[in-house]
Amino acid sequence: MKSFELVQPATLEAALETLPAARDTKARDSVKLLAGGQDLLGELKEHLVAPDTLVNLKRIPGLDRIEHGADGSLTLGALVTLARIENERAIRERFTLLAEAAGAVASVQIRNQGTLGGNLCQRPRCWYYRHEQAVCIKKGGSECFAYGGLNKYNAILGGGPSYIVHPSDVAPALVALDAQAVIRGKRGERRVPLEQFFTLPSEGSVLRENVLTSEEILTHIVVPAPGAGSWRSTYLKFRERGSYDFALSAVALRLSLDAGKVREARLVLGAVAPIPWRCEKAETALVGRKLDAETCEFISRLALEGAEPLEHNGYKIPLTQGMITKALRKLAN
């Protein structure tokens, strides 16, 4: 890791002061935000980033707060650790899939330090992206090496010109919860539905995975109250190595049932696309259906419609279909 200066601001304003202007393309990579550090330190050690300055957000009061609103909403500071989300009873009961997703991240040690904000803003795990010598399209090169290379872990949906998958576990869960991202910049605050926070490589900058600019800080996530009806939810993650792994495929499913039939649903896939992949067609199709074998079959096929596997990741289609089936069955019971 290259030597850097560690700035430890005591207020959000002081932190924002340290950030270079987004339009300053030269300077913008010279400062990086440090939260739990569980991804950033890896990036620094691999020399994927080499900032002159790290801005440590851990000493800013309030960013690590969990607040349950009177209206049933949930506000999570970006510095809340994954372990706290995993273990807080009220979250486990009311936002089950979020607790499950946080608990599915890596290992105890990482969840104890890794933060919500860090998890949402973590960079891709693509082999090529993580290899210093492979100057791929995500690092300013001209090519996605995975596209014609070894792409077992890459995207089957939404790919091009980069074929990374978004590695976050909590992101699909939060999108399924209709969460909003609260972003602070030098000129104030903006709120973005989390679904729009993440950007496809073909829409936003291929160098980034979300709408954050270098002069902004993701400060909070707001999860609205679940709304009327009897909601249930789950996050299922498939790991190649069960102990500890990034997902090969993941399903965040949330639905409300009315007399055994689906009233409303959210189905978001993880690890199959460069963003948490919302399956709106499948969500709509679920409405009014019973959660039986036929529905599982139908919905899991519909959700993967349009998938375009690369040479080595065709398995992700049946795998993800299987995971969707398991999630639907789980919520049926």
Binders in 295-324 for another protein, by CB under 8 A: 312-316, 318-319, 322-323
Of 31-50, binders to another protein (CB under 8 A) are 31, 34, 37-38, 41-42, 44-45, 47
Among 235, 261, 228, smallest CA distance to 330 is for: 235
Among 67, 69, 107, 311, binds another protein (CB under 8 A): 107
Closest separation in Å from C-beta 18 to another protein: 5
Binding residues for another protein restricted to 238-257, rule: CB under 8 A: 238, 240-245, 248
How many Cα atoms occupy the beta-carbon half-sphere of 277 within 13 Å?
28
Nearest CA to 328 out of 248, 265, 246, 259 is that of: 265
Among 22, 106, 192, 225, binds another protein (CB under 8 A): 106
119 binds another protein per the rule CB under 8 A: no
Q: Take residue 306 and report the two structure tokens written for it.
A: 């349009």
Minimum CB separation from another protein for residue 227, in Å? 31
**Minimum CB distance to another protein smaller for 163 or for 238:** 238
Under the binding rule (CB under 8 A), the answer on residue 25 touching another protein is: no
x/- mask, another protein, residues 148-177, rule CB under 8 A, reads: -xx-x-------------------------
- Closer residue to another protein in complex, CB, 17/67: 17
Q: Which is nearer to another protein, 188 or 242 (CB)?
A: 242
Per CB under 8 A, contacts with another protein among 176-235 are: none
Task: Tell whether residue 85 is a contact of another protein (CB under 8 A).
Answer: no
Site string for another protein, 59-78 (x = CB under 8 A): x-x-----------------
Angle at 18 between CA 17 and CA 23, to 5 degrees: 90
Q: Which value, to the nearest 10 degrees, does the dihedral of the CA atoms of residues 127, 132, 135, 138 take?
A: 60
CA dihedral (44, 276, 140, 185) positive or negative: negative
- Short-list 312, 320, 311, 308, CA closest to 156: 308
Q: Which is nearer to another protein, 143 or 178 (CB)?
A: 143
Which region, judged by CB under 8 A, interacts with another protein, from 109-117, 160-168, 198-206, 214-222?
A: 109-117
Please report how close the Cβ of residue 179 comes to another protein at its closest, in angstroms: 26
For residues 140 and 29, the answer to whether their CB atoms sit within 8 Å is no
Residue 82 in the binding site for another protein (CB under 8 A): no
Cα dihedral sign, 90-100-270-331? negative
Q: Which of 49, 169, 29 is nearest to 110 (CA)?
A: 169
The one among 131, 263, 281, 289 contacting another protein by CB under 8 A:
131
Q: Which is nearer to another protein, 11 or 202 (CB)?
A: 11
Instruction: Please tell me whether residue 101 binds another protein under the rule CB under 8 A.
Output: no
Applying CB under 8 A, does 293 fall inside the site for another protein? no
- Contacts with 48 (C-beta within 8 Å, 6 or more apart), sequence order: 123, 129, 130, 132, 139
CA distance 268 to 194: 12
The C-alpha angle with vertex 48 and arms to 138 and 144, in degrees rounded to 5, equals 25
Q: Which of 12, 29, 30, 297 binds another protein (CB under 8 A)?
A: 30
**Total residues binding another protein (CB under 8 A):** 71
Count of C-beta atoms within a 10 Å radius of residue 103: 19
C-alpha separations of 7 from 4, 18, 19, 22, 33 in Å: 9, 8, 11, 19, 10
